Amino acid sequence: MPDIVLYTLVSLDGATDDPHRYFPETGDKHGAPVFDGELARLEGEMLARQGAVLLGRRTYDEWSRYWLTSDEQPFADFINTVPKYVVTSTPLAGDWTNVQSVSGPLAEVVADVKARTDADVGVHASITLAKSLLAEGLIDELCLAVGGVLDPVGPRLFAGLPARRELKLVEAASTSSGSLWLRYKLPTARTSSGDVDSK
């Protein structure tokens, strides 16, 4: 059975709004580490295990314009070709390929998307969707690229969780620029869910 893998770039205290605050594009100044080659390699290995992606609606609207012309690898080739399922109740616009809208209770959406692929299903950006999936126990694996920053700005990935969760560490790596790569398995804790129109 494929895993639902939540992947995001975060500050040490869980901020997710602006990855450039945690991973500046140049390393010629003091501050947070860059998204270095070691993180890129680990991200590429993770992407190779994914056969589909779940996105929230606002992320789709932003990414469908940006990634079509981006040469940022390895993510550009991955996201432009992988099947993408957008959680939304309104029609999609744009020319991004391999995209389909999905709606309904999240547990049913997740089960349906899992049934369509033999590989993992990634949840990228889409903070509102990610938080809803976490709250409802629908995330199987949590994968974080962590910058060495405490950032008071932006939504918190783990804010509003309904209960304490225990995680099993399956991979941890530090990089030469000071970043962390963390992978955790989450225990299954499925609950019923309502509809969501997510970022």
Coil vs helix vs strand at 35: coil
Q: How confident is the model at residue 199 (pLDDT cuts 50, 70, 90)?
A: low
Provide the pLDDT for residue 191. Answer: 40
Burial group, residue 131, by CB count within 10 angstroms (0-12, 13-18, 19+): buried
Tens-place pLDDT, residues 164-185: 889 999 999 998 888 899 999 9
Strands in 168-174's sheet, in edge-to-edge order, are 99-102, 84-87, 50-56, 120-124, 4-11, 141-147, 180-185, 168-174
Tens-place pLDDT, residues 74-114: 899 999 999 999 999 999 988 899 999 999 999 999 999 99
Tens-place pLDDT, residues 122-135: 999 899 999 999 99
Coil vs helix vs strand at 166: coil
Provide the pLDDT for residue 188. Answer: 65
DSSP designation for 156: B
Closest by CA to 133, choosing from 154, 105, 112, is 105
Q: How many residues does the chain have?
A: 199
User: For the chain, what is the mean pLDDT?
Assistant: 88
* Tokens coding 96: 């991004």
- φ/ψ of 35, rounded to 5, equals -80, 95
On whether the CB atoms of residues 69 and 80 are closer than 8 A, the answer is no
Provide the pLDDT for residue 101. Answer: 96
Tens-place pLDDT, residues 66-75: 999 998 888 9
